[in-house]
Amino acid sequence: MTQLQMALNSELTYEIQKVAQDEGIEPEIIRRRVASGKIVIPANNNRKSKVIGIGKGLRTKINASIGTSTDIADIDMEVKKAQIAERYGADTLMDLSVGGNIEAVRKAVMSSINLPVGTVPLYEAFAIAIEKYGAAVKMPEELLFEITEKQCSEGVSFMAIHCGINRRTVEMLRRQHYRYGGLVSKGGSYMVAWMEHNNKENPLYEHFDRVVEILRKYDVVLSLGNGFRAGAIHDANDRVQIQELIINCELAELGREAGCQTMVEGPGHIPINEIEANIILEKKMSGESPFYMLGPITTDIAPGYDHITSAIGAALSSAYGADFICYVTPAEHLGLPFPEDVREGVIAAKIAAHVGDMIKRKDMETDKLMSKSRRDMQWERQFDYAIDPERAEEIKSKRGNGDDSTCTMCGKFCANGILKGMFEKDMEAHDKK
């Protein structure tokens, strides 16, 4: 049975209790939200992994995506990237490999970390079709379902499935006549090409009940992928993107009714003034299914710094109610991320999620503790509260310091040092409140 089905049977599973403990929320509240589809717990029956909850009332979770390309397929590097993502605080990992031995990469990554791992099974299916039949458009429909089941059996915890691409959305895109960023989803582009070449409906949409049946068998969370997400801020919330969102929200409800845990994916590239509306739409149309935001990137002109452009979007998304954020690295739009890019992406996304949670969850206690530690010049405590203690300690140590109570920014002009002792009694009394 799935976590959803057990929650509907009033069972307080180990996973539900663990999420409740980690989040500081009563287990019964978690159970009710899992039962209603407002929280998902990615925990494949065939693989033990870190237990996390994604959804209403919980901390905003961070996903780190890695994976090979057809140009760079280094298994050892992907394993290193996965381990770095886990070390620096990612909550989940997605293997988006499309080059080399995709199965071998996935298995090596999954054996090297304890995080829930997600995939896009469509990638492997099309890669096999290209190798075996000479073209992606020659892929047999059955291969999609075979690969999906194989990956589920290996222990994948959540899957991005492109069910919202159908004949109607493809026709809508054609009638729209333009897109400044084109199609930026690899899976979405391949599926559209397959549909057009074969003059057929998307099998993942046409046989959605079969998709749900496979994922439910292993309790894999269905993440309804957005193949028509905007790849440019001027395409954000255009007709085809919103039509796909409507379809995905409907499918999320159907999946839940069939006992499968579901969540919905969001943009993409989007200007900051349109983020809240996107989240409101998803929450209303899906019955508050968890919303998985890819980034989102908030300007198109900052290659090399897209971990920053997406952190801006992620912070706002989190504050407005998004539940799950996919990081973006400095290599976005430029090339395959290397291990150092993964660290930068994870930390930027963690900062963004925390900034959003300060508003969404009204949780500013850690910031208060950090402030007091800075006021009192307690360096070790400052490092303890830091999102990336290693980086903070490294910067502090490299800049030299003759006095442990100050830093080299101000030295003897330290504001806290100048007033030390003047207001300490008042401060201590206030701190005890």
pLDDT score at 409 = 85
Is residue 405 helix, strand or coil?
coil
**Which residues have CB under 8 Å from 142's CB, separation 6+?**
none
Q: Is the bond preceding 296 in cis, omega lying within 30 degrees of 0?
A: yes
| Pair of tokens at residue 172 | 């809508």
The residue type of 149 is E
| Pair of tokens at residue 360 | 């969404």
Q: Which of 166, 182, 164, 156 is nearest to 97 (CA)?
A: 156
pLDDT score at 150 = 98
| Pair of tokens at residue 343 | 């660290």
The tens digit of pLDDT for each residue in 284-320 reads 999 999 999 999 999 999 999 999 999 999 999 999 9
pLDDT along the chain (433 residues), means of 10: 98 98 98 98 97 98 98 98 98 98 98 98 97 97 98 98 96 90 93 97 98 98 96 96 97 98 96 98 98 97 98 98 98 98 98 98 95 90 96 88 72 80 65 63
Task: Count CB-CB contacts under 10 A for residue 289.
Answer: 30
Spell out the domain ranges in the chain. Answer: 3-360, 365-431
Q: Alpha-carbon torsion 210, 214, 219, 223, what sign? A: negative
Q: Is the bond preceding 339 in cis, omega lying within 30 degrees of 0?
A: no
Please give the distance of CA 397 from its chain centroid, rounded to a whole number. Answer: 33
CA separation for the pair 114, 127 (Å, rounded):
27
pLDDT score at 373 = 92
CA separation for the pair 266, 408 (Å, rounded):
44
Which DSSP symbol is given to 161?
Answer: E
| C-alpha separations of 306 from 40, 275, 283 in Å | 28, 17, 27
CA separation for the pair 411, 403 (Å, rounded):
8
Q: Pairing relation of β-strands 39-40 and 54-55?
A: antiparallel
Please give the distance of CA 405 from its chain centroid, rounded to a whole number. Answer: 39
- Rounded to two decimals, the pTM is 0.95
Contact 44, 155 (CB under 8 A): yes
pLDDT score at 402 = 56
Q: How many CA atoms lie within 13 A of 424 on its CB side?
A: 8
pLDDT score at 418 = 80
CA separation for the pair 88, 389 (Å, rounded):
10
pLDDT score at 413 = 85
pLDDT score at 118 = 98
The tens digit of pLDDT for each residue in 257-288 reads 999 999 999 999 999 999 999 999 999 999 99
CA separation for the pair 215, 30 (Å, rounded):
22
Burial class (CB in 10 A: 0-12, 13-18, 19+), 225: buried
Q: Select 3-360's CATH number: 3.30.9.10, 3.20.20.540, 3.40.50.150, 3.40.640.10.
A: 3.20.20.540
- Largest Cα–Cα separation, the chain: 79
Calculate helix-pair angle for 167-176, 239-257, nearest 10 degrees.
170
Q: Which of 253, 251, 323 is nearest to 4 (CA)?
A: 253
Q: Alpha-carbon torsion 205, 206, 209, 210, what sign? A: negative
